[in-house]
Amino acid sequence: MSAHLAAGAGSPATDAALAAYSTSTGEAVQFWVLGTVAVLGALCTVFLKRAVHSALCLAGTMIVLAVFYLANGAYFLGIVQVVVYTGAIMMLFLFVVMLVGVTAADSLKETVKGQRWLALLCGLGFGILLCAGIGNASLTEFDGLAQANAGGNVEGLAALIFTKYVFAFEITGALLITAAVGAMVLTHRERTERARTQRELAAERVRAGKQLPPLPAPGVYARHNAVDIAGLLPDGTPSELTVIGTLRERGQIRDVSDQAIKDLRALEQRAGERLGRGDRAAREDREGRAEEAAK
Amino acid sequence: MNPVNYLYLAALLFTIGATGVLIRRNAIVVFMCVELMLNACNLAFVAFSRMHGNLDGQIIAFFTMVVAAAEVVVGLAIIVSLFRSRHSASVDDASLMKL
Amino acid sequence: MDNLIALLVAAPLLGAAVLLCGGRRLDAVGHWIGTVLAAASFVIGAVLFADMLGKDAEHRAVGQHLFSWIPVEGFQADVAFQLDQLSMTFVLLITGVGSLIHVYSIGYMEHDERRRRFFGYLNLFLAAMLLLVLADNYLLLYVGWEGVGLASYLLIGFWQHKPSAATAAKKAFLVNRVGDLGLSIAIMLMFTTFGTFAFGPVLEATGETGEGTLTAIGLMLLLAACGKSAQVPLQSWLGDAMEGPTPVSALIHAATMVTAGVYLIVRSGEIFNAAPDAQLVTTVVGAVTLLFGAIVGCAKDDIKKALAGSTMSQIGYMILAAGLGPIGYVFAIMHLVTHGFFKAGLFLGAGSVMHGMNDEVDMRRYGGLRKYMPVTFVTFGLGYLAIIGFPGLSGFFSKDKIIEAAFAKGGTEGWILGSVALLGAAVTAFYMTRVMLMTFFGEKRWQPDERGNEPHPHESPKSMTIPMVVLAFGSVFAGGFFGVGDRFVHWLEPVTEHTHGHPPIGATAVTLSTVTVMVVGVGLAYLLYGRRPVPAVAPRGSLLTRAARRDLLQDDFNHVVLVRGGEHLTRSLVYVDHTLVDGVVNGTAASMGGLSGRLRKLQNGYARSYAVSMFGGAALLIAATLLMRAV
């Protein structure tokens, strides 16, 4: 931990008076640079479309905040921020993001009418009012933590936690256990009934009178093996059973029963022409067409 | 630089987080924004601690972190079970009470 | 001995329960069960009467507390009986006449396949009527009051297959409801005024109560009496009630139930004594009704309806007497008892005539029946002489006393009331002579009915004639027994108190004029109906006659004023309801609906929208905090 990062707490005694009102230049530079980063990270968290990006930006902001904690003399909190928040909590977030995956919720398009404008308006008003409140509070006196941290920051915190805040501490322990149990209860799914065996499933299918063997495959005579073409039954009619349910529901079945016959006829004709029986075949074909026209 | 700037920064981050809660629909992102707000509060507490020269502010920030950890555990469990039952992580989908 | 009082009520009640629940297996013996239990009640009454006679006049009133009905703090209702001389008079009349009519009904209803049920209803009526007169508080009296109303309804509509009977029953029930409303209001007033409704405490407390309250209670009681006793303006149901079997008309609509109103007024005498306005209204109601009924009786060709008009008129006498106060109470009850005898006898005679004439009721189809039905003729004739006040018979003693008391009221009122009563006596003589002449004298005028059945008039069986004979006996001698030596006055005096009235023209003069107007009425009727043949079809008649045939337009009045008025009121109320009330309601609903439709959009179900409002609220809170600090 570099010295200037801890400037607020570790400045020499001669600078104590100055420290009460302002910080060292190094800290100022650090504040402006890292502060900008933190705000950018926060804005990206809010406005980036993918949840993973948001999580990474938030992690960045949190690391910046950890640095600010250190700069303010909260050494223990700074480390904890990195370990617990950035290390554990944000990883948990990423884990859940991956578990949930990409959903429609990721879209930034607003669906509730007027919500975005109202939110921005409220946010703007809230921020301005908050800043006005801080500016109004005349906070010029800074005591600094030199005295409080004299025996070491961690020791000071420990002394407080195990004396003054011991009850709150204990209750916090109870809270953590409750949270752990709660998370388990929420995500755990108990199996309430025995899993059915293969035999029982088969018996059920027989009882329901559904298709017993595996469904037939789609496609006709291996000329059409596309999944959206119904297989033909021995009498030439297509069987919708051969097309998967999704396409059936959408009505995307291609019917090729007459197409196949037409193709066959064309094939026969071509074969006839090549074999010298073209005249008769052509004549027959013409007669057939005339009959069709008469109809 | 006056250390009061830390407070302005905290206020700014808090406002950004709150606005994010209001405009994002992905429950996970909303939750992240809540965490951002909590962190902004923590920064303010640490700054206060320095201002007053004692460690109580840091203690509060410490407790906030613990509570936030517990909250994240439960909150993410809720989001996961919500997603399981609805196949969506949108907070707008959980609007059964509307007419 | 006092414990027997409950048995009086219990015996017929048991009969009603057994007969109505027993089913068809009792059909063969049902009428005997009913008659025996009615007679048992009469025997118990007689035993109690003998016991009462053995005591001093002051100690004759006895009571029996059966059980606490509604024992609530501040509201004590008991089932308790009170048997004093007044109640005893009624008990004997009800059970006596009731038993006779049970006997009569055995013969009269012989061919009716629902005879067991009929006797069940009769027993139910007896039980309710006895409860009414034996109750020692108004609430229990009200139970009996409603009970007799129910029995009356069931019996009027006994031949429910006839639409006219069903309608008449409904009409009687509805008109009686109006009166019952009066009684219930009176009881409520009593409860709020006196905190109780037992006879003793209420009547004792009348001295300390304001006259206005008492007048209100009295008028409400009078309304109740009007409903039950068929007095103007609630008289319209009695004529139609004749659709019931004749024994019912005799028992309920002549002798007993319709006199319940008189009982109520005499029982509440202290209230009326302290409320002269209510008394005046009572006398007016009585006077109007006695003329009204008499005029209606003159015009009716239906023998039962003529008798119904007569009943109305005679009860008018009683109400008039009851309204006169202590000078009249005793005579009201006395006339009630004698009237119970002769009117029941007349109705039974009419029933006997109908029985012999294939249920023909039109007197213009009778004539000359005295040769065919001698017993009926004699008993009916004795009843007739009694009702017109022939000297020496029952009606003479009681009616004469009432006319006397009416004159004795004093002042102009006395003169008017006395004259009306006298006029009524003349009209009574007229219409009863008309009934008598048209039925039993003159040429025979009956014809085959639509189915070609020629009536063969014949005397009724013994079970019917014996009660008629007994009642005729009462019609002849009861008045003399009561009147001579003021025996009845001394009997009732401890209960109702009695002041001797002095008519301004002297009692003898009143008696003489009563007899004179009676003779005039009889003579007039003889001139009109005895010396000339009675046309088989009623002549058109004068305006008054035609109006009287239509019951002096009572139903038309009710129709125009109540039905039409009600319809118009309802229609206008419906209009107001539809336009104004519904308009306000629907308008409110519509505006709320519109507003909600707009507000609804705020509740779009998106958590983010709600979060925006929270966030905006937080911003406003900060603004408010800053403002407060700045100020």
Q: pLDDT tens digits for C414-436? A: 899 999 999 999 999 999 999 99
Contact C608 B98 (CB under 8 A): no
**Choosing among A65, A86, A95, which should be mutated to test the B contact, i.e. which has the most B CBs within 10 A?**
A65
**Which among C609, C623, C626 has CB closest to A115?**
C609
**Is B23 in contact with A131 (Cβ distance < 8 A)?**
no
User: How far does CA A54 lie from the centroid of its chain?
Assistant: 10
Best B5, B8, B22, B31 member to test A by mutation, with max A CBs in 10 Å, is B22
Which residues from B are below 8 Å from A163, CB to CB? none
pLDDT tens profile C349-399: 999 998 888 888 888 888 888 888 889 999 999 999 999 988 888 888 889
Instruction: For residue B80, list chain A residues with Cβ-Cβ distance below 8 A.
Output: 96, 99-100, 186-187
Q: Which CATH architecture has domain B4-86?
A: Orthogonal Bundle (1.10)
Tell me the sheet residues that pair with C362. C302
Closest CA to C13 of C127, C101, C118: C127
Distance from CA of C596 to the nearest CA of B (A): 12
Angle at C18 (CA atoms; ends C14, C20), nearest 5 degrees: 115
B touches which chains (3+ CB pairs under 8 A)? A, C
Inter-chain CB pairs, A–B, below 8 Å:
252
Q: Is the pLDDT of residue C67 over 90?
A: no
Could you tell me which chain C residue has the CA closest to the CA of B15?
Answer: C615
Task: Work out whether the CA dihedral C195, C199, C205, C211 comes out positive or negative.
Answer: positive
Partners of A51 on chain B (C-beta within 8 Å) are 26, 28-29, 32
Summarised one tens digit per residue, pLDDT across range C31-44 is 999 999 999 999 99
Q: What are phi and psi of A140, to 5 degrees?
A: -105, -25
- Count Cα atoms within 13 angstroms, Cβ side, for A174: 6
Partner-chain contact A130 C625, CB within 8 Å: no
Contact C608 B91 (CB under 8 A): yes
Instruction: Give A1→chain B minimum CA distance, Å.
Output: 18
Residue percentage of chain C with pLDDT more than 70: 99
The residue-averaged pLDDT of C81-97 equals 92
Nearest CA in chain A to B4: A139
Q: According to the model, what pLDDT value does residue A58 have?
A: 93
Asked if C619 lies within 8 A of A115 by C-beta distance, the reply is no
Model ipTM? 0.92
> Residue B6: phi, psi to the nearest 5?
-55, -35
Q: What are the residue ranges in chain B where pLDDT is below 50?
A: 98-99
Q: At what angle do helices C85-108 and C115-134 cross, to 10 degrees?
A: 170
Task: Residue C483: count other Cβ atoms within 10 Å of its Cβ.
Answer: 20
Please name the amino acid found at residue A206. V
Q: C38 with C61: CB under 8 angstroms?
A: no
pLDDT per position in chain A (295 positions), as tens?
A: 444 444 444 444 444 444 456 678 888 899 999 999 999 999 999 998 888 889 999 999 999 999 999 998 899 999 999 998 888 888 889 888 888 876 655 677 777 778 888 899 999 999 999 998 888 876 767 777 878 888 888 999 999 999 989 999 999 999 999 999 999 888 887 777 888 888 888 888 888 887 777 777 766 554 566 777 777 777 767 777 777 777 777 777 777 667 767 878 888 888 888 887 655 555 666 666 666 666 6
Q: Does C600 touch chain B (CB under 8 A)?
A: yes
Residues of C in contact with B21 (CB under 8 A): 608, 611
Sequence ranges of the domains in chain B? 4-86
Q: Which residues pair with C76 in a beta bridge?
A: C71
Average pLDDT over residues C103-123: 90
When CB atoms are compared, the residue of C605, C608, C615 closest to B98 is C605
**Mean pLDDT of all residues in C142-156:** 93
Cis peptide before C448 (omega within 30 of 0): no
- Distance from B99 to chain C by nearest Cα, in Å? 7
- Using an 8 Å Cβ cutoff, are B70 and B3 in contact? no
Q: What is the DSSP string of C522-588?
A: HHHHIIIIISSPPPSS-----HHHHHHHTGGGHHHHIIIIIIIHHHHHHHHHHHHIIIIIHHHHHHH
Work out the pLDDT band at C486, boundaries 50, 70, 90: confident
What letter represents residue C79's amino acid? V
Closest residue to C608, CB basis, from B22, B98, B99: B22
**C601 to chain A: closest CA residue:** A113
Residue C23, Ramachandran bin (φ over 0: left; ψ between -120 and 50: alpha; else beta)? left
Cα three-residue angle C276-C279-C282, rounded to 5 degrees: 155
- Residue in C604, C618, C630 closest to A112 by CB: C604
Q: How far is A36 from chain C (nearest CA, A)?
A: 25
Phi-psi region of B82 (alpha: psi -120 to 50; beta: other; left: phi over 0): alpha
DSSP bridge pairs for A200: none
Chain C residue numbers with beta carbons less than 8 Å from the beta carbon of A118 are: 612, 616
What is the phi/psi pair of residue C67, to 5°? Answer: -165, 165
pLDDT of residue A280: 59
Structure confidence by residue, pLDDT tens digits, C227-260? 999 998 888 899 889 988 999 998 888 888 999 9
- Three-state secondary structure along chain B? CCCHHHHHHHHHHHHHHHHHHHHCCEHHHHHHHHHHHHHHHHHHHHHHHHHHCCCHHHHHHHHHHHHHHHHHHHHHHHHHHHHHHHCCCEHHHCCCCCC
Q: Which of C60-69, C91-100, C206-215, C562-571 has the highest mean pLDDT?
A: C91-100
- Residue B99 confidence (pLDDT): 43
Predicted confidence at residue A12, as pLDDT, reads 47
Q: How far is A42 from chain C (nearest CA, A)?
A: 19
Within an 8 Å CB–CB cutoff, is residue C597 touching chain B? no
Q: Residue range C213-235: average pLDDT?
A: 92
Nearest C-alpha of chain C: how many angstroms from A105?
A: 13
Residue A114: closest CA among chain C residues belongs to which residue?
C609
Q: How far apart are the C-alpha atoms of C84 and C57, rounded to whole Å?
A: 10
For chain C, list the contacting chains (3+ Cβ pairs, <8 Å): A, B
Asked if B25 has any chain C CB less than 8 Å from its own CB, the reply is yes
Model pTM?
0.61
* DSSP output for A47-76: H-SSHHHHHHHHHHHHHHHHHHHHHTT-HH
Q: Would you state the pLDDT for residue A6?
A: 43
Q: What is the mean pLDDT of chain C?
A: 89
Amino acid at the residue C110: E
Q: What is the DSSP letter of A224?
A: B
What are the chain A neighbours of C610 within 8 Å (beta carbons)? none
Q: Which amino acid is at A54?
A: S
Task: Check CB contact under 8 Å for A136 and C629.
Answer: yes
Q: Which of A115, A145, A153, A157 to mutate to test the interface with B (most CBs of B within 10 A)?
A: A145
Contacts of C100 (CB under 8 A, 6+ apart): C344, C467, C470, C471
Range with the lowest mean pLDDT among A79-83, A188-192, C303-307, C498-502?
Answer: A188-192
Answer yes or no: is pLDDT of C480 > 70.
yes
Q: Is B99 on the interface with C (CB under 8 A)?
A: yes
Comparing CB atoms, the residue among A61, A68, A107 nearest residue B6 is A68
